[in-house]
Structure formats: C-alpha cells, structure tokens
A and B are shown apart, each in its own frame.
Chain A
Amino acid sequence: MCLGLPMIVVELRPGDVALAEYEGVRKEVSVALLAGDVAVGDFVLVHVGFALSKIDPERARETLALLAEIAGLEAR
C-alpha cells in the first residue's frame, strides 16, 4: 500500500482524472493533488490511485550521471 509507483500521464480526463501508465498497464488516477499542474507526458508518483507529485526526468538523469561518476563509469 505504501509502495508508490512512477507512472507516465497518457491522457487527461475531466474531473481531475488522468490515465496513467506503468509497464504497459494503464490506470485512471486522480490528479486532484497537483492543482492543475500536470500535462500529458509528465511523470507522476502515484500512491493509492493519487498522483502525489511530479517526477522530474531531468533531475533523474542528473542523479544517474552522478551514480555513474561515483561508480567510475562514463555517464551513459
């Protein structure tokens, strides 16, 4: 129940609802907690059917680059 998932928004629907996808599985989620700040293509963190926050893919890439650097690897 506490294990949240990053999902990608594939469609916005009326009533603060979005269709979001994870690993090919699509689900309706509420975006009521994002106060309208959401668009198709956004990554969102979903818990119990609600998007809690957006996930910033740019920051994710920065973290991955840092991890690669720590590991002594070229950033991929």
Chain B
Amino acid sequence: MILVDEFRDRDVALRIARVIGAEARPERSYAFMEFCGGHTHAIFRYAIEDLLPANIRMVHGPGCPVCVLPIGRIDAAIALAGQPGVTLCTYGDVLRVPGSHRRSLLKAKAEGADIRVVYSPMDAVKLAQASPDRQVVFLAVGFETTTPPTAVVVLEAERLGLANFSVFCNHVLTPPAIAAILDSPEAQGGALRLDGIIGPAHVSAVTGSRAFARFPRDYGQPVVITGFEPLDVLQAILMLVRQANAGRGEIENQFTRGVTEDGNRHAQGLMARVFESRETFAWRGLGQLPASGIRLRPEFAAWDAERRFSLPEPEAEPPTACRCGAILRGLARPADCRLFGTGCTPDNPIGACMVSSEGACAAEWAYGRARHRGKETA
C-alpha cells in the first residue's frame, strides 16, 4: 500500500544508513532519544540500531502509555472492576499490566470480574447502550492520540443521556514527560546526555509540531517529528546528525505527510471542552509530574468514574529488581535488568515495560534476542 511499503524499502534504508555513517563525525558520539513507544517498537522491529554506526546510540524514552501507568491506577481499576454491576472496558494492552502483589486485570477477569477488551472507546458506549443493567466504565489510557477519541465518546454519552457509562481517565500529556526527562538530575548533571529527540508523529498530528517548539527554544535540544516506518526513522536520524554537527537546535518535521504546525484544531477544541489539567499525575518511572495528566471537567462529572465510584488510595510501591523506572528515564536498557528473560517475560511480566509491544523490554524480548544470538555465533 502506498504510504507504507515505500517507506520500508530495504535498499533505500541501507543507502541512507551509509549516508548517516558518512556524515556522523568519528571523533564524537550521538545519543538520540525516541520518546514514543511506537518508535521503540519500529527501531527494534527493523533492527535500525544495527544499521547505524557504533557512535550513534538510541535511548528509549517513556512514551509507552501502558508502561507509565502507575501501579495505583491499575489497583484502582481492579477494585473498580470488582464492584457489583460494573463492566470494565479497556484496550487489550492494559490487561496484563501488573499492579500491586502482581495482580492484573487479566487475573481479575479470570477470577470472574466482568472485564472486556475493546478496540475503540466507541465500542464501550455501544456496550453501555446494549446493557442498561450494567455500569460500563471505560478505562482510558494514552497520550494525545487516544485522548480526542475519549473526548468524542464522553460528548456522545452526554448527547445520548447515557446514565450507565463513565470514563476512568488516565490520559497523560507528552510535552511534560519530555520536559521531565530534560529537567531530570541525570540530564542536568550529564549522566544522561542527549543530542536530539525523535518526536512523535501521531501525537503531533493532533497537537501540531508547535507543541514541541519549546524544547529547541528552552533546552537547545534538536527535535525532529518523525513517522513510524523505517525510512522515516532513518531520515530523522540523519536530520538530527546534521543538526548536531551544525550546532543547531531546531524543530524539524520529517512527517510532513500528516503533521502541520497547528495540528488538528477541531480535536484540540474537543479535548479542551471535555478535559482539564490535573495539578499533578503520577507516572511509573518518572514520579509525580505537574500538569502532566488530565481529568474530565466538572460539567462532565456524571461520566467521570473517579467521581461516581469510590476508589482505593494507592499503596506505596514495594521495591523490586525491576528496572522499568530507569529504562523509562533513558538511564538503563532492558539487558541491564537481571530479571530480563528469566524472571520476567511477556507471558509473565514483572514490570509494565514487558507488557505492551511498545515497551522497551517487550520489544527487546521479541526482536533483540535473536539479534544478540546472531552476534554471538557470528
């Protein structure tokens, strides 16, 4: 199909990789963070790091919404699903995320809780319409890509006067998370050096590339808004190498086919109508980040599960050997975790990074091991 296959051409990829190799200066190194889990997935799936010269390193960022969901919110969702009359709907990735005591929605479902996987939040609205005797709660997660759809279904529930539908909102915002990484003591102190950021194309399709302009401006960090196919990622790496070589820190848009400076104004308007900023929200790995999460506005209280149901206070997170937190902050790699592949696998995940295909540990498990094995025997 046009727009996909052409951006996976192996011959072009190898040639662009050679251009990157020629332009990367041998006397220095480059570390680029891909913020978004979709990029992490693409980088592993297409083994992009293997095409790059040794002095270019990709640092995986926190942009996997399932991975950053804190344990307390999973515990709250499990408790919610256990209340009589409640049917909890969510995206498939969320089910296996471990909460406290290694409980998950999947285990709660196996024990009899009514938990359903939906592809679209609209399916949850339809389910509520079809089951008037159930309280249908949609567990909403994700960045600015899944937020506008949630806004649409809240407005739809209002229009329909649906009394048995509500949203447990866990939506988070991309720019505050990038800021948190750049403001972290590690980044400030030099333990985490970044020479550029691969910015998320689909989030930017909604927010506009403008939402990321502050990172070049305030931090001097080059940002390239990048598509998710291998040629997109390679072109963006070349653009970042060129910015770094020239000492520039600018926002550039590689994904011109879907991203403008302004983004989708209509979607932004719907989000602003339905949601308001939370003072603070907890992220797995990053901790409490101010103004990084959103909730339903008081006008939509009737559809806000947090106001309609009483939810448990989050328990303190017990210390574990899981390095997810450090991985999400760009400070460790999956192979640095001693549970990786032994105590922790996709079938039996300890941390959230092993759950979603966009998580660094799951991607390393799916695509990275074969590569390492290949290297050992080569």
Name A residues whose Cβ lies closer than 8 Å to a Cβ of B: 1-4, 6, 8, 22-23, 30, 32-35, 43, 45, 47-50, 52-57, 59-60, 62-64, 66-68, 70-73
Within 8 Å CB of B254, what residues of A? 63
Which B residues form the contact surface with A (CB < 8 A)?
A: 1-4, 6-7, 11-12, 15-16, 19, 36-38, 41, 64-66, 91-93, 119-123, 141-143, 145-146, 148-149, 152, 202, 205-206, 228, 231-232, 235, 238, 254, 256-259, 263-264, 266-267, 270, 356-358
B205 touches A45 (CB 8 A): yes
Name the B residues within 8 Å of A2 (CB-CB): 36-38, 64-65, 142-143, 145-146, 202, 356, 358
Smallest distance from the beta carbon of A8 to chain B beta carbons, Å?
A: 8
Complex Cα–Cα for A62 and B123 (A): 37
- Does the CB pair B19–A48 fall under 8 Å? no
- Which 5 A-B pairs give the minimum distances between C-beta atoms? A49-B120, A71-B15, A35-B266, A53-B205, A59-B257
Interface SS of chain B: helix
Chain B residues with CB under 8 A of A35: 266
A30 touches B152 (CB 8 A): yes
Contact call B2/A60, Cβ cutoff below 8 A = yes
Q: Output the nearest chain B residue to A72 by Cβ-Cβ distance.
A: B15
Nearest CB of chain B from residue A67's CB, rounded to whole Å = 6
CA distance A49 to B359 in the complex (A): 22
| Chain B positions within 8 Å of A62 at CB level | 256
Known: A1-B146, A2-B145. 10 other contacts (CB 8 A): A1-B91, A1-B93, A2-B143, A2-B202, A2-B358, A49-B121, A50-B149, A56-B258, A57-B2, A71-B16
B258 to A48, Cβ gap below 8 A?
no
Q: Measured between alpha carbons, how far is A45 from B238 in the docked complex, in Å?
A: 25
Bound-state CA distance A8–B254 (Å) is: 21
Tell me the complex Cα distance, A17–B152, Å. 13
